[in-house]
A and B are shown apart, each in its own frame.
Chain A
Amino acid sequence: MNPIQTLFISVRALLRNKMRSFLTTLGVVIGVGAVIAMVAIGEGAKASVSAQFAAMGTDLLIVMSGSSTASGARGGAGSAPTLTWEDVKALRTQVRSVRYVAPNLRSNGQVVSEEQNWMAPITGTTPEYFSIRTWPATKGTLFTQSDVDTGTKVVVLGQTVANNLFGADTNPVGQLVRINNIPFEVVAVAASKGQSAQGQDYDDVVFVPSSTFQAKIQGGLQKFVAGSLFIGADPALGTAAAQREITELLRERHQIRPGAPDDFTIRNLSEMANAQQEGTETMTTLLASIAAVSLLVGGIGIMNIMLVSVTERTREIGVRMAVGAKPRHILAQFLVESLTLSLLGGLLGVVLGTISAQQLASRFGWTMLIRVDVTVVAVGFSAFVGVVFGLYPAYKASRLDPIQALRFE
């Protein structure tokens, strides 16, 4: 007897009891469906978290100057200028794990085109900033180091600013805009980055060379960096190493005695990202485990029904044995029955899980991500459940004494 005949016999038996087969399957359908939906939503959350951190920049550290203290009131991170341009140079040349250093000088300003005007944060920086944040231009060319060296009056517009000043259809490259009444030539429009997790628009920004910013927009003390430093760590060495080395260098340069607090703050975004990732991962695992328990319950349901079925069909088993079925034929028949039920349940569960994940995602505005490997594992596990919980009833059926089975009423 070949496997196709066994399958045929088993499917026939299941179809003879459609309603019962369906209800038996339902347990596995719900189990697998729940696993698929939970993991899809969990993975979706994870993916959107990493997308948000990727938008910030990869391997990114932010160094902020220390806190000012006036009459006992402390000003918070960045309120007292402690980072100097010499520090920037030193970081760039002396720290092995640092690949890029870009100043992030910030000031709000009114940006005026021929037609329109728009209040936007003005960022003074260097081309390295765009490398750190992997932020290309969609139109034109980003300003270069030579623009920074010579202090040219050029500007890179964020997408939102470009749209507000020139409209979405016009190419602003080559046009003039005025910032604090000083004319700047638009050299590029930066690609759209979207929003941060908190809804802050990354594209509502304009960039000018840091030297131009210092000379034309900032004024005041020139020795200190009036803002923060964006640091791109060498991915091979990692952000943790970079953070340690930067701390060492800055403490040395600022002559801070051992035990005294830093006069700067380093934010390690990769670590924050990892922590967030771990949080969602834990949540996903938790939900998936609960769902897996329901899959197990579904398996027990299958075993229950298979046991009832074996008892109910004792006569049938007797007849099959009398006409020449060997114990392994009977074993295979009942095993394939439970396997068919659970596998079918698994496949229906994938459909149900996908649909419900989609419904939940669209209803609550979540992202979802169906992972092929999880789907395969869930279906495979349901088949496994079918075999495990089908084994005992099938074994019981195969060990029946044909004489007793034939006499069974």
Chain B
Amino acid sequence: MSDAPIVVEDLTKVYRMGDVEVKALRGVSLTIEAGSFTAIMGASGSGKSTLMNILGCLDRPTSGRYLLDGRDVSRLDVNDLAEMRNRSLGFVFQNFSLLPRTSALENVELPLIYGGAPAKQRHEKAMHALGRVGLGGRADHKPNQLSGGQQQRVAIARALVNSPRILLADEPTGALDSRTSIEIMALIQELGVSGITVILVTHEPDIAAYASRLVVVKDGLIQSDIRQVPEKAELPPADAEGGAS
């Protein structure tokens, strides 16, 4: 249990909107083991985004404990949270969230800049990360010169570049066609195999099926938490020769 990278105990989050209190989370407890691939599912308004934001150190819980890599981050200040995001977490977003008019390489280098790595090391690590997602040859391409799938690969390379233990993917296939979605999910599964703990937030059951554990959130509580045999992300043989689009 102490080895688990994420331990959440009785987490609540209350938003105030004028006079109305909105309870987004009402006591969530969750332990995620190292190297596991967990999907968090839920309808909009279920509290899954709030949970994701807290797990991603973008937000702080109202009460409860959150141990990330053995450290209680629920009461950290903004600077320490930024450091946690930089060192322990990698983010992948639905809309790719790359800096426009900035090369793939520089986008991938971004976390290293804030981590304070020297230029040479930054360059090497970023090139390695781009190689890992199969975009070694497109380091100097700008986002608008890349397809959606390629942009999401750049985002994944950026998430991986600082060698975090945890990858948080928020609807990573939401803006992609089904073929490309499968390619991206294959890549994420590969990462899981190589030991990175992956947490995926989605509302699509097809996508959640690729995970080995499925947590369903409803009305701010965990409704179900089941282990499952993950489906393998593979293109149907008929489409296989198309390659990355």
**Which residues of A line the B interface, CB within 8 A?**
1-2, 5, 9, 12, 16, 315-316, 318-329, 402-403, 406
Q: Closest approach, in angstroms, between the C-beta of B95 and any C-beta of chain A?
A: 8
- Complex Cα–Cα for A85 and B4 (A): 113
CB-CB contacts below 8 Å: B88-117 with A = 91, 93, 97-102, 110-111, 113-116
Residues of B within 8 A of A1 (CB): 113-114, 116
| B58 and A324 contact, CB distance less than 8 A | no
Residues of B within 8 A of A326 (CB): 78-79, 82-83, 114
- Complex Cα–Cα for A217 and B85 (A): 101
- Complex Cα–Cα for A319 and B111 (A): 10
Q: Closest approach, in angstroms, between the C-beta of A329 and any C-beta of chain B?
A: 6
- Complex Cα–Cα for A324 and B56 (A): 11
Residues of A within 8 A of B110 (CB): 319-320, 323
Name 20 interchain pairs, CB-CB below 8 A, sorted by A.
A1-B114, A5-B113, A319-B98, A319-B99, A320-B110, A320-B114, A321-B58, A322-B58, A322-B85, A322-B91, A322-B97, A323-B110, A324-B115, A325-B114, A326-B82, A326-B114, A327-B78, A329-B114, A402-B58, A406-B93
Supply 18 further A-B pairs (C-beta < 8 A) apart from A324-B162, A327-B82, A406-B58: A2-B116, A5-B113, A12-B102, A318-B97, A319-B110, A321-B82, A321-B85, A322-B91, A323-B111, A323-B158, A324-B85, A324-B114, A325-B114, A326-B78, A326-B83, A327-B78, A403-B58, A403-B59
Q: Closest approach, in angstroms, between the C-beta of A19 and any C-beta of chain B?
A: 14
Name which residue of chain A comes closest to B122, CB basis: A5
- Complex Cα–Cα for A316 and B102 (A): 11
Q: Closest approach, in angstroms, between the C-beta of B57 and any C-beta of chain A?
A: 9
B163 within 8 Å of A (CB atoms): no
Closest 8 CB pairs of A and B: A324-B86, A324-B114, A323-B111, A326-B82, A319-B97, A326-B79, A402-B58, A325-B114
Residues of A within 8 A of B58 (CB): 321-322, 402-403, 406
Checking B53, B97, B113 against A403 with a beta-carbon cut-off of 8 angstroms, the contacting residue is B53
Residues of B within 8 A of A319 (CB): 97-99, 110
Residues of A within 8 A of B59 (CB): 403
Q: Closest approach, in angstroms, between the C-beta of A408 and any C-beta of chain B?
A: 11
Main secondary structure on chain A at its contact with chain B?
A: helix
- Complex Cα–Cα for A402 and B98 (A): 15
| B97 and A315 contact, CB distance less than 8 A | yes
B87 within 8 Å of A (CB atoms): yes
**Which residues of B line the A interface, CB within 8 A?**
53, 56, 58-59, 78-79, 82-83, 85-87, 91, 93, 97-102, 110-111, 113-116, 158, 162
Name which residue of chain A comes closest to B79, CB basis: A326
Name which residue of chain A comes closest to B82, CB basis: A326
- Complex Cα–Cα for A5 and B106 (A): 12
- Complex Cα–Cα for A181 and B53 (A): 111
Residues of A within 8 A of B98 (CB): 319
Q: Closest approach, in angstroms, between the C-beta of B222 and any C-beta of chain A?
A: 21
- Complex Cα–Cα for A406 and B97 (A): 8
Name which residue of chain B comes closest to A12, CB basis: B102
- Complex Cα–Cα for A5 and B113 (A): 8
Contact status of A325 and B99, CB under 8 A, knowing A5-B113, A403-B53: no
Name which residue of chain B comes closest to A15, CB basis: B101
Residues of A within 8 A of B115 (CB): 324
- Complex Cα–Cα for A16 and B143 (A): 14
- Complex Cα–Cα for A322 and B111 (A): 9
- Complex Cα–Cα for A2 and B116 (A): 8
- Complex Cα–Cα for A389 and B99 (A): 26
- Complex Cα–Cα for A328 and B87 (A): 18
- Complex Cα–Cα for A2 and B119 (A): 11
Name which residue of chain A comes closest to B106, CB basis: A12
| B99 and A323 contact, CB distance less than 8 A | no
- Complex Cα–Cα for A301 and B113 (A): 30
Residues of B within 8 A of A9 (CB): 113
- Complex Cα–Cα for A39 and B115 (A): 48
Q: Closest approach, in angstroms, between the C-beta of B126 and any C-beta of chain A?
A: 12
Residues of A within 8 A of B162 (CB): 324
| B111 and A324 contact, CB distance less than 8 A | yes
Residues of A within 8 A of B158 (CB): 323
- Complex Cα–Cα for A388 and B91 (A): 35
Residues of B within 8 A of A5 (CB): 113
Residues of B within 8 A of A324 (CB): 82-83, 85-87, 111, 114-115, 162
